[in-house]
Amino acid sequence: MSVVRVRQLLVKCSVLAAPLLLGGCQGIQSALDSHGREADAIAWLIWFFTGLCAAIWVAVMIALAIGLRRHDVAADTPPLARQHYGSRRSGVIAVLTGLTALTVIALSVLSYTTDKSLATPGKQPINVTLIGHQWWWEIRYDDADPSKSFTTANELHVPVGTPVKISLQSTDVIHSFWVPSLAGKEDLIPGWKNDITVTAERPGLYRGQCAEFCGMQHAHMALLVYADAPDSFNTWFTAHVSAAAPPQQEVKQGHDVFMRSGCILCHAIRGTIAGGRVGPELTHFGSRSSIAADTLVNTPDNLVAWIRDPQGVKPGANMPRVDLTDADRQALARYLESLK
């Protein structure tokens, strides 16, 4: 194959690959598409490191090309001349070694100062406790007034422009919190509490993911983060502080199925006798957009399929199969979807 043909193929491959590479720089789960104060600092650090390292690489390649084109000292060059040439080369090497050391020190200091700034929220934060389970997220909004504290699951709402201090805990194995567009990574370690602060700068939906392998369904342990305008967040918060509304007649059958089955042993619905703490809290389940930590979209058909055979949807999940009739499953799904 000719050199011209090889070059043509390389150009075509580069053109075809460019959209794929650039596509990873944006979206609801990209560290390079930052929408938060902490993510902005991390993205700037990434680009600075990348640009500086690229410039150094180019400089090294240019020096290498010059060196390859330059003739070595001729064998018949007088010894004194060769000694002078060697001394000059040693001086260049010493200078470059010093510059390399200074570059490494400067980058280390920059990384440290950036990391330190991320741990300092700009103003009084909202406090949230995030608890990792195999394989879902328990979310507790904490307030000095217990009547304003509540628990939800798998979907975190934050107000735009307000720091949210998240206390990270785990009940079983090591998990890792990571919402690339809003903040960096932080581990959830059993028996230990870590903190991370998230400050969303623009409204939107952002996807987080457990970034530490935690078992069979690690890939299906996602966290959806909604950055709401302050008024929208206050409306959402007020609605979720309240207990579940009494069931209307059209969903009363499903309510009764839930209360007499094994569901109440694992799940809680505030305002009812259901007080289980093994599985996700379901008080306002109907307002969530996903099922089983973003494994399925929250639709009536998907909910029925999940109730019928959770192991078929998410093998290894702790939710067992409950022996119900088709009519009971349909009624139960209608009741859960009504919990707004």
Give the domain range for residue 257: 249-337
Rounded average pLDDT over 184-191? 93
Task: Verify that 188 and 263 share a domain, yes or no.
Answer: no
The answer to whether 224 and 208 are in contact (CB under 8 A) is: yes
Task: Verify that 226 and 137 share a domain, yes or no.
Answer: yes
Task: Verify that 205 and 293 share a domain, yes or no.
Answer: no
- Asked if residue 84 belongs to a domain, the reply is no
Task: Verify that 214 and 166 share a domain, yes or no.
Answer: yes
CB atoms within 10 A of CB 188: 27
pLDDT digits (tens, 9 = 90+) for 2-48: 544 544 554 455 445 445 444 555 567 776 777 777 777 888 888 88
Looking at 214, 241, 268, the residue that finishes a domain is 241
Rounded average pLDDT over 234-251? 92
- Asked if residue 181 belongs to a domain, the reply is yes
Q: Which of 6-15, 62-71, 274-283 has the lowest mean pLDDT?
A: 6-15
- Asked if residue 14 belongs to a domain, the reply is no
Task: Verify that 233 and 135 share a domain, yes or no.
Answer: yes
Looking at 189, 220, 241, the residue that finishes a domain is 241
- Asked if residue 53 belongs to a domain, the reply is no
Looking at 241, 261, 279, the residue that finishes a domain is 241
| Predicted local distance difference test score (pLDDT) of residue 107 | 84
| Predicted local distance difference test score (pLDDT) of residue 33 | 74
pTM of the model as a whole: 0.77
Whole-angstrom CA distances from 62 to 50, 68, 70, 86, 286 are 18, 10, 12, 21, 61
Question: Across all residues in the chain, what is the average pLDDT?
Answer: 85
Task: Verify that 213 and 156 share a domain, yes or no.
Answer: yes
Q: How large is the angle between the packed helices 300-308 and 326-337, nearest 10 degrees?
A: 130
Task: Verify that 191 and 276 share a domain, yes or no.
Answer: no
Environment class of 163 (CB within 10 Å of its CB; exposed 0-12, middle 13-18, buried 19+): buried
Task: Verify that 138 and 161 share a domain, yes or no.
Answer: yes
| Predicted local distance difference test score (pLDDT) of residue 6 | 44
| Predicted local distance difference test score (pLDDT) of residue 3 | 45
Rounded average pLDDT over 74-84? 52
Task: Verify that 198 and 293 share a domain, yes or no.
Answer: no
Whole-angstrom CA distances from 202 to 38, 40, 49, 310 are 13, 12, 26, 36
Task: Verify that 228 and 256 share a domain, yes or no.
Answer: no
Bigger pLDDT: 76 or 31? 31
Rounded average pLDDT over 295-312? 94
Number of domains comprising the chain: 2
Rounded average pLDDT over 253-262? 92
- Asked if residue 19 belongs to a domain, the reply is no
Task: Verify that 280 and 331 share a domain, yes or no.
Answer: yes
| Predicted local distance difference test score (pLDDT) of residue 44 | 83
Bigger pLDDT: 1 or 262? 262
Which value, to the nearest 10 degrees, does the dihedral of the CA atoms of residues 25, 49, 195, 151 take? 0
Q: How confident is the model at residue 84 (pLDDT cuts 50, 70, 90)?
A: low
- Asked if residue 21 belongs to a domain, the reply is no
- Asked if residue 80 belongs to a domain, the reply is no
Task: Verify that 288 and 231 share a domain, yes or no.
Answer: no
206: domain CATH number? 2.60.40.420
- Asked if residue 272 belongs to a domain, the reply is yes
